[in-house]
Amino acid sequence: MLIQAHSRLPSGLKTRALRHAGAKIGGGVHMSLRSRISANELSIGDRSSIGKRAIIRGLKVSIGKDVTIGDNIELRGSQITIGDRTEIRSGSHIIAYEEFRIGSLGVIGARANLHARQIVIGDEFYSDDNPIPLTIGGGGSLGPQARIRIGNRCVMHNNLINVAEPVTIGNDVGFSPDASIYTHGFWNSVLEGYPAVFAPVTIGDKVWLGFRCSILPGVKVGDGSVIAAGAVVTRDVPSKCIVGGVPARVVEGPPDFPRKILAKDADEIMKSLVVEYADLLHDKGFKTSISEYSGGLTLRLEKRGGTSNIVYFQSVVRGAFPSEDRTIVLSFEDWAGLSKNHSFLNLSTLQWRGLSDQLLSDLRDFLRRRGIKFSGERFGSIAPEISEKLFQED
């Protein structure tokens, strides 16, 4: 049975019609005028919204809670699954003949063009709004092998990923602008001795693809490797090395790369990062002061009468933290002294717990830009003080 509602119905009548037709629609769901959705099986979680002139068509469609689907979206696939708190921004076109699936907390930037047999994306994916949008597909995207699987916490920009053959991308992979992947290459006739190459591409975990690098068909990139800007990769890349050049060759690798970090090195790095973060917060309108002690330091913050603390210690807590002050604690060892105003970031496990607010989000974003990634919520930054003045209401 096909479940659908007339595009010109207002939101309340549209969701009522869908429920009447057998769909599972949560509370607070909003469907804009001229949006259209149809499926044989349909579920939409609480507080999700579908923008104007959005078209969603699938056999089985499952949209999670707090999902935002923008205006002028086209989304078609036999099976469509969108995780909680994911956003698909306006103007994007996604066609996955067999399956489109994206996990929770994802962002697909405006005007993205994704086209393949199967598109599977993990949690906390991010692609930005770019004048040249993210493109997945290209030649051969109708073929039976046109499949892409992207792991968790990956970041993309205006990248091109061709999927004539399968593409597999691991967790925590970062694409710099203009980086591209190709799974086929041909032009002149094979009967005249020219090559025609069709082969899958595999990218391991924690790989960084530099600006305008190209990965050619059949390449496997090992975990933890870095592809230098402008490199053209024509053969497999070992794990944990840097490759560069045309064609790309290993520039540096074990045991020299990545550099071994001892406990004392990590301690000094974190202290320097807290000092650097204090300078950044000063630009954002905070008054800052730093107290250093054996094994750690405390960054005290004041803004508009409010007081907060950021405390770093390597292994043991030095001193007590006032429970009434907002306090964020960072350490390489676990800490149990958490109150309602505290947050704790474990630098060994990259797990965090406690109060989540704008300051914690800003700190997590600062650490992310140094490769220290605490996941679980979207990042956000506190605007510089000059920005607040420029954009305040007249």
Q: What is the pLDDT of residues 162-183, one digit of tens each?
A: 999 999 999 999 999 999 999 9
End-of-domain residue from the set 190, 219, 252: 252
- Is there a domain that residue 81 lies in? yes
**CA 308 vs CA 75, 298, 317, 323: distances in Å:** 45, 10, 17, 11
Question: Residue 29, class by beta-carbon neighbours within 10 Å (0-12 exposed, 13-18 middle, 19+ buried)?
Answer: buried
Question: Residue 83, class by beta-carbon neighbours within 10 Å (0-12 exposed, 13-18 middle, 19+ buried)?
Answer: buried
270: which residues sit within 8 A by CB, 6+ positions away?
312, 314, 330, 347
- Is there a domain that residue 258 lies in? no
Residues 150 and 282 grouped into a single domain: no
End-of-domain residue from the set 207, 232, 252: 252
Q: Which amino acid is it at 154?
A: C
Specify the number of domains making up the chain: 2
Residues 247 and 283 grouped into a single domain: no
Beta strands 36-39 and 55-63 are parallel
- Bridge partners (DSSP) listed for residue 220: 202
Residue 45 phi, psi dihedral angles, 5° rounding: -80, 170
Which CATH number covers residue 183?
2.160.10.10
Residues 295 and 364 grouped into a single domain: yes
Residues 36 and 184 grouped into a single domain: yes
Q: What is the mean pLDDT of the chain?
A: 92
pLDDT at residue 20, rounded to an integer: 84
- Is there a domain that residue 13 lies in? yes
Active site residue 184: yes
Residues 7 and 128 grouped into a single domain: yes
Single pTM value for the model: 0.92
DSSP state for residue 382 in the 8-state scheme:
P
Count CA within 13 A, CB hemisphere, residue 379: 18
pLDDT at residue 388, rounded to an integer: 66
CA distance 21 to 25: 11
- Is there a domain that residue 222 lies in? yes
Residues 240 and 279 grouped into a single domain: no
* Residue showing tokens 């044989």: 40
122: which residues sit within 8 A by CB, 6+ positions away?
102, 103, 150, 151, 152, 153, 154, 171
**CA 20 vs CA 25, 154, 167, 215, 389: distances in Å:** 10, 39, 41, 50, 51
Task: Show the domain range for 142.
Answer: 3-252
Q: Check if the beta carbon of residue 233 is closer than 8 Å to that of residue 226.
A: no
End-of-domain residue from the set 215, 232, 252: 252
pLDDT at residue 33, rounded to an integer: 83
pLDDT at residue 21, rounded to an integer: 85
Q: Check if the beta carbon of residue 356 is closer than 8 Å to that of residue 344.
A: no
Q: Please, what sign has the CA dihedral across residues 386, 369, 352, 154?
A: positive
Residues 240 and 321 grouped into a single domain: no
Residues 220 and 367 grouped into a single domain: no
Q: Which residues of the chain have pLDDT under 70?
A: 1, 5-7, 316-323, 388-389, 391-394
Residues 47 and 80 grouped into a single domain: yes
Residues 119 and 219 grouped into a single domain: yes
Q: Check if the beta carbon of residue 167 is closer than 8 Å to that of residue 147.
A: yes
Length of the chain: 394
Residues 245 and 366 grouped into a single domain: no
Q: Which long-range contacts (CB under 8 A, 24 or more apart) does 328-333 make?
A: 328/359, 328/360, 328/363, 330/270, 330/274, 331/296, 332/263, 332/266
- Bridge partners (DSSP) listed for residue 325: none
Q: Among 311, 375, 315, which residue's Cα sits nearest to residue 342?
A: 311
CA-based Rg of the chain, rounded to a whole angstrom?
Answer: 24
The residue annotated as part of the active site, out of 6, 30, 157, 184, is: 184
Residues 120 and 226 grouped into a single domain: yes
- Is there a domain that residue 70 lies in? yes
Residue by residue, DSSP assigns 247-276 as TTEEEE-TTTSSPP--HHHHHHHHHHHHHH
Say how far residue 234 (Cα) sits from the centre of its chain.
27
pLDDT at residue 1, rounded to an integer: 56
- Is there a domain that residue 257 lies in? no
